[in-house]
Chain A
Amino acid sequence: MKIICKQIEVKEKKFGYNRNMYEISEVLDSWRDIGAWWEDEEEKRFWRVSLHNDLTAEIFYIPNKKKWYLYRLW
């Protein structure tokens, strides 16, 4: 499965990617990943969500940057 890692905007449980809008219907799981702290990589907060169109996505948020990213989509 391809890793996307593109910045997105999440508003009211919706986000856009590749000219499509996706709506989050359920949070399946969530976790936090501290990453390569020795290289000053920032902590990422992940959510695995199911989407309105039966797809599943993993999105993550970097609190320090206040930015959202789409990690994977399938």
Chain B
Amino acid sequence: MDFVHLHVHSPFSFLDGGSEIRNLVKRAKEYGMSALALTDHNSLAGAVQFQKECEKEGLKAIHGAEVTLESGGHLVLLARGQEGYHNLSRLLTKAHLVNERLQPMVSIRSLWEYQEGLIALSGCRRGEVPSLLLKGKLKEAKEKAEIYRDIFGGRFYLEIQNLYIPGDVALNRKLKELGEETGIKLAGTNNVHYLDKEDFPVHDLLTCIRLGLTLEEVHQERRLNAENYLKSTAKMYEVLADYPEAIENTLAIADLCEPGLDMTKRYYPAYLYPKEYRSATAYLKELVYAGAKEKYGRISRTLRERIEHELFVIDRLKYSDYFLLVWDVVQHAKEKGIRYAGRGSAADSVIAYSLSITEVDAFKRGLLFERFISLERAESPDIDIDFDARYRDDVSAYVYVKYGERHVAAVATYHTFQARSALRELGKVLGFSAKEADILAKRVPYYLSDMGDLFNRVPEIKNMNLSSVKYKQLLYYAKKIIDLPRHLGTHLGGLVITNLPVTDLSPLQKSAKGVNVIGFDKRAVEDLGLLKLDLLSLRTMSAIEDSIKIIRDLDYEKIPLDDKETYKMLHAGETVGVFQLESAAQRALQSKLKADNFEDIVASLALIRPGPIQGNMVDPFIARRKGKEKISYLHPDLEPILKKTYGVVLFQEQVIEIASVIAGFTPGESDQLRRVMTHARSSRDMEEIGGVFLRKAQANGVSIQTAKEIFSYIAGYASYGFNEAHATAFAYTAYKTAYLLRHYPAEYYCSLLNHQPMGYYPVNTLCLLAKQRGIQVLPLDINESEIDFSVEKGNIRIGLKQLKGLREKEQQAISTTRSTGRYLSYKDFIERLGSRVCKDSLSNLVKVGAFDSLEENRRALLWQKPVADASPLEKWAYEIELTGIESQVSFMGLTRDRLKGFTLSTEVKRKIGKKIWLAGWPIRPHRPPTKSGKVVVFFSLQDEVGLAEVTMFTSSYEKYGQLIFGEHIPLGIYGEVFSRDGAISVNAEVVKDLRDLLTKE
């Protein structure tokens, strides 16, 4: 007895599939089924994952889709093999691209065009034939059936389902009669939307989200019962007992089908290298040596050996075309003057450096190529490049033009339900008001996956008095839907380039930005062997570019890496605005570490991450760096590897090198070892790996005792290690932006302000810190403000674009009109601009003081009559509301006289060991995961002169957490001032809401 489910939906039928692909496949296997089909709505997004899972379980994967026809009806299409799969993908592409976004429809003409290799089933009740039969339109149903019979020949089947819906009995009878009349065979399915009966509530909730309903509302699309689960063979025989021929035909269909994707192939395009070269590798070699000569001058024997080794691996793995492609893209960027920087493990490659893809000298740093690519791993290389955010799309457009639109597409990303979105959306379904659901969602820490314990663990939620059954249901089901795909999005920078037309492999859809997106995400793209380029936008690149333009006489590439003043600034933790070094944790680290060379910056980037923090690596590193702890090595061969990190294993490359040097693994084998250690789940796995390591180490002449110690040492650090190449690549940008900040603060901050949102801190904090450096932040002025923020005699002028609601056209109009002569008065402005600036914008300009230099009284201008001007507090309120910046006065400054006994943020460092009161606005509160699992909250408190760092431990968090993570309000913090190796912080014991104190008359 066998059965195959031919009509199955996964979560890639967004909000209509309740169970994951791997669980569906596993269950089919448990039932002893030989094959399974996947037929998501208008999509093949799950195809790669599905085929992979089927191969793992030894099941045959049958690819398909349930398509929506122009009539609105459904039709199930199954691919017989690769040709059928190609046709299905092309058909779906047409359906998506020809129609409005998110409303794909398949025409009869498309079915005729692409029917080869496809089998069609009449679908569920929403199929054209069944729905006509249900309406009693027998003649029309027959006509439709005959059309599909003509299109697909003997490959069209009438689908029998017994789902215990009213009318099913009669419908199935009519389908059988129709089949007899027309010679169309029957097939039996169960229209599967989830795994088990018990999963029905999840599916029903997803349906309600999709339809915008609450649970109490009735809708014809909500399933009446829980019968759409993956039934066992026995169960299917039971429900289709009256239609044995349907089961027989279903099995015959499954026999006809083969998987549609060749997962062993690679679909890389060939790079068109010049004819005089005999191969892509030959051309690549020429370019690499030319680049290396430029970078190194003289090519030493060891350098040559390194280059030849990398070329050998690249050639063996057939990646030469890929490197040439990437080189070509960065050449284009260089020619156009577009700033870029390669990142990630590509910086482990000397070839990437020689081709100017990255700026990290992997040879000089002794970085291991095998961390990037190795023969043993044989995975596709992944090169990420950050571009000036303004021009990233231009670079992308170049790729489309060069390789052809048919061969290039953006990679998808699947937005999945996370804790907050799950709570919000399910909250509405369960009948909570949008406000209640939003409040709950906002109070969930982003990393909290254990939803069930929210009541006890998160004080903000405890204080909401959540105890009703409804809230418990909300939390229970939110947990169930976390990680299910919600909708398709576009991967930020990923592009695939294929040798076949992309549409042979995946349907394309239009993204919200109008870009063609392939149906696969990054993981599926890699699994399928597609070439992917990551062309990323980085606003830091834009800010750097702008800074250089304003500064004019600075060669960014020649910034010295040993500037003492820059390091001095890092020691003081004054790094707000510095790439990757501006978070509170990084600033604290810089204060402790006292970096005085580039390697320290590389290490900083590797240290402030959950792994090393939880693994308690940070303090030992600092202690050894400062000579407070002795550095020792378990074996002399470890010294050259670990010297630069003071004996601490910090980088993945170090783990590889250690395994290589101690146990004689090839670098590729060592990298495999590292990966296995990182993902090892059980002590048995680790024992097995350990066994191999120990044997090899002993064979290499290392004593068993030493080998054991070394193994446990690297095993402990393997999962924490950071990619050194990536850290180095980022460190260049981090250091150089620190240099810019130190030496050209006005220009650099101005550029940062022009490229918001970016970085860690809000605009107002950046402005405050600029002021701390003696830079004035000049208010919006109708005669002085450019559209962007600008540098004005060493100060920063707020730009017109910062005014809320002032449209681009209005900004242009103001700026252009002024070029013919400054505005002499408010009246002059109105006369010259006329209706080009609307009333609201005009009013806002007055409110923020843009006319203050011409007419002092804002209120009189607004009301057009003699009245007293707005108070300083009112002016502050206007400015903060309409620009987000406190340029002249700050709230804390205005209310300071009510804060007797409160310490200013700049004075905190003089109060170490004392208990003080601080007042200010909490900035960027966050709860990073900790080793102990206890909650520690970090945030900055901003007053009128600076930032103070605050730490809040579990007991205070439980009492006051809702004040920190709730509304943005001014707070009073009471606690002791600590210095941890130079990093100063207040340990909050008491937190108070200061609104009443500061605003009551």
- CB-CB contacts below 8 Å: A8-40 with B: 27-34, 36-38
* Chain B residues positioned under 8 Å from A29 (CB to CB): 166-170
Q: Which residue of A lies closest to B470 (CB)?
A: A38
Given contact pairs A33-B225, A36-B215, A37-B204, a sample of 20 additional A-B residue pairs in the complex whose CB atoms are under 8 Å apart: A27-B169, A29-B166, A29-B168, A30-B164, A30-B169, A31-B164, A31-B165, A31-B166, A31-B168, A31-B224, A31-B225, A32-B164, A32-B224, A33-B224, A34-B225, A37-B201, A38-B201, A38-B473, A46-B166, A48-B166
Q: Would you list 11 pairs from A and B whose C-beta atoms are within 8 A, ordered by A residue?
A: A30-B169, A31-B225, A33-B225, A34-B223, A34-B225, A36-B215, A37-B200, A38-B201, A38-B215, A38-B430, A48-B166
A34 B224 Cβ-Cβ under 8 A: yes
B763 to chain A, nearest CB (A): 45
Q: How far is the CA of A34 from the CA of B165 in the complex (A)?
A: 11
Q: How far is the CA of A31 from the CA of B163 in the complex (A)?
A: 8
Q: How far is the CA of A34 from the CA of B222 in the complex (A)?
A: 11
Query: 8 closest Cβ contacts across the A-B interface?
Result: A32-B225, A32-B164, A31-B166, A34-B225, A31-B164, A34-B226, A29-B169, A38-B215
Q: How far is the CA of A46 from the CA of B165 in the complex (A)?
A: 10
How many residue pairs between the two chains, A and B, have CB atoms under 8 Å in the bound complex? 40
Q: How far is the CA of A7 from the CA of B430 in the complex (A)?
A: 31
* Chain B residues positioned under 8 Å from A32 (CB to CB): 164, 224-227
Q: How far is the CA of A28 from the CA of B430 in the complex (A)?
A: 36
Q: How far is the CA of A46 from the CA of B224 in the complex (A)?
A: 12
Q: How far is the CA of A31 from the CA of B227 in the complex (A)?
A: 10
Q: How far is the CA of A48 from the CA of B164 in the complex (A)?
A: 12
Q: How far is the CA of A36 from the CA of B225 in the complex (A)?
A: 10
* Chain B residues positioned under 8 Å from A48 (CB to CB): 166
* Chain A residues positioned under 8 Å from B201 (CB to CB): 37-38
Q: How far is the CA of A36 from the CA of B473 in the complex (A)?
A: 14
Beta-carbon contacts of B158-175 to A below 8 Å, as 1s and 0s?
Answer: 000000111111100000
B199 to chain A, nearest CB (A): 12
A31 to chain B, nearest CB (A): 5
Chain B interface size range: 10 to 19
Q: Which residue of A lies closest to B169 (CB)?
A: A29
- CB-CB contacts below 8 Å: B221-249 with A: 223-227
* Chain A residues positioned under 8 Å from B168 (CB to CB): 29, 31
Beta-carbon contacts of A36-74 to B below 8 Å, as 1s and 0s?
Answer: 111000010110100000000000000000000000000
- CB-CB contacts below 8 Å: B826-861 with A: none
Q: Which residue of A lies closest to B165 (CB)?
A: A31
* Chain B residues positioned under 8 Å from A43 (CB to CB): 225-226
* Chain A residues positioned under 8 Å from B473 (CB to CB): 38
Chain A residues packing against B (C-beta within 8 Å): 27-34, 36-38, 43, 45-46, 48
Q: How far is the CA of A36 from the CA of B855 in the complex (A)?
A: 67
Q: How far is the CA of A32 from the CA of B167 in the complex (A)?
A: 12
Q: Which residue of A lies closest to B477 (CB)?
A: A38
Q: How far is the CA of A31 from the CA of B171 in the complex (A)?
A: 13
Q: How far is the CA of A32 from the CA of B215 in the complex (A)?
A: 18
* Chain B residues positioned under 8 Å from A45 (CB to CB): 164
Q: How far is the CA of A45 from the CA of B165 in the complex (A)?
A: 10
* Chain B residues positioned under 8 Å from A31 (CB to CB): 164-166, 168, 224-225
Q: How far is the CA of A31 from the CA of B223 in the complex (A)?
A: 12
* Chain B residues positioned under 8 Å from A38 (CB to CB): 201, 215, 430, 473
Q: How far is the CA of A33 from the CA of B200 in the complex (A)?
A: 12
* Chain B residues positioned under 8 Å from A36 (CB to CB): 215
Q: Which residue of A lies closest to B430 (CB)?
A: A38
* Chain A residues positioned under 8 Å from B164 (CB to CB): 30-32, 45
Q: How far is the CA of A45 from the CA of B224 in the complex (A)?
A: 11
Q: Which residue of A lies closest to B205 (CB)?
A: A38
Q: How far is the CA of A34 from the CA of B201 in the complex (A)?
A: 10
Q: Which residue of A lies closest to B171 (CB)?
A: A29
A34 B200 Cβ-Cβ under 8 A: yes
- CB-CB contacts below 8 Å: B611-648 with A: none
Q: How far is the CA of A46 from the CA of B225 in the complex (A)?
A: 11
Q: Which residue of B lies closest to A36 (CB)?
A: B215
Q: How far is the CA of A46 from the CA of B166 in the complex (A)?
A: 9
Beta-carbon contacts of B169-193 to A below 8 Å, as 1s and 0s?
Answer: 1100000000000000000000000
Q: How far is the CA of A28 from the CA of B170 in the complex (A)?
A: 8
* Chain B residues positioned under 8 Å from A46 (CB to CB): 166
Q: Which residue of A lies closest to B164 (CB)?
A: A32
Q: How far is the CA of A27 from the CA of B242 in the complex (A)?
A: 15
Q: Which residue of B lies closest to A48 (CB)?
A: B166
Q: How far is the CA of A28 from the CA of B958 in the complex (A)?
A: 62
A41 to chain B, nearest CB (A): 12
Q: How far is the CA of A33 from the CA of B473 in the complex (A)?
A: 21
Q: How far is the CA of A48 from the CA of B225 in the complex (A)?
A: 17
Q: How far is the CA of A33 from the CA of B224 in the complex (A)?
A: 5
Residue in A27, A30, A31 whose Cβ sees the most chain B Cβ within 10 Å:
A31
B988 to chain A, nearest CB (A): 41
* Chain A residues positioned under 8 Å from B167 (CB to CB): 29
Q: How far is the CA of A38 from the CA of B201 in the complex (A)?
A: 8
* Chain B residues positioned under 8 Å from A34 (CB to CB): 200, 223-226
Residue in A30, A36, A38, A48 whose Cβ sees the most chain B Cβ within 10 Å:
A38
* Chain B residues positioned under 8 Å from A30 (CB to CB): 164, 169
Q: How far is the CA of A34 from the CA of B215 in the complex (A)?
A: 13
Q: How far is the CA of A33 from the CA of B168 in the complex (A)?
A: 14
Q: How far is the CA of A27 from the CA of B166 in the complex (A)?
A: 12
Q: How far is the CA of A28 from the CA of B227 in the complex (A)?
A: 20
Q: How far is the CA of A9 from the CA of B170 in the complex (A)?
A: 27
* Chain A residues positioned under 8 Å from B166 (CB to CB): 29, 31, 46, 48
* Chain A residues positioned under 8 Å from B165 (CB to CB): 31
B658 to chain A, nearest CB (A): 56
Q: How far is the CA of A37 from the CA of B164 in the complex (A)?
A: 17
A23 to chain B, nearest CB (A): 20
Q: How far is the CA of A37 from the CA of B223 in the complex (A)?
A: 12
A62 to chain B, nearest CB (A): 13
Q: How far is the CA of A27 from the CA of B169 in the complex (A)?
A: 10
Q: How far is the CA of A34 from the CA of B204 in the complex (A)?
A: 11
* Chain B residues positioned under 8 Å from A37 (CB to CB): 200-201, 204
Q: How far is the CA of A60 from the CA of B167 in the complex (A)?
A: 16
Q: How far is the CA of A61 from the CA of B782 in the complex (A)?
A: 78
Q: How far is the CA of A36 from the CA of B164 in the complex (A)?
A: 17
Q: Which residue of A lies closest to B170 (CB)?
A: A29
Q: How far is the CA of A38 from the CA of B226 in the complex (A)?
A: 13
Q: How far is the CA of A30 from the CA of B169 in the complex (A)?
A: 7
Q: How far is the CA of A48 from the CA of B168 in the complex (A)?
A: 12
B957 to chain A, nearest CB (A): 33
B429 to chain A, nearest CB (A): 10
Q: How far is the CA of A30 from the CA of B227 in the complex (A)?
A: 13
B604 to chain A, nearest CB (A): 51
Q: Which residue of A lies closest to B225 (CB)?
A: A32
B137 to chain A, nearest CB (A): 19
Q: How far is the CA of A28 from the CA of B168 in the complex (A)?
A: 10
Q: Which residue of B lies closest to A46 (CB)?
A: B166
A51 to chain B, nearest CB (A): 18
* Chain A residues positioned under 8 Å from B430 (CB to CB): 38
Q: Which residue of B lies closest to A27 (CB)?
A: B169
Q: Which residue of B lies closest to A40 (CB)?
A: B469
Q: Which residue of A lies closest to B227 (CB)?
A: A32
B481 to chain A, nearest CB (A): 15
Q: How far is the CA of A46 from the CA of B201 in the complex (A)?
A: 20
A49 to chain B, nearest CB (A): 12
Q: How far is the CA of A10 from the CA of B477 in the complex (A)?
A: 38
B340 to chain A, nearest CB (A): 53
B788 to chain A, nearest CB (A): 53
* Chain A residues positioned under 8 Å from B224 (CB to CB): 31-34
Q: Which residue of A lies closest to B224 (CB)?
A: A33
Q: How far is the CA of A31 from the CA of B473 in the complex (A)?
A: 28
Q: How far is the CA of A33 from the CA of B201 in the complex (A)?
A: 13
Q: Which residue of B lies closest to A58 (CB)?
A: B166
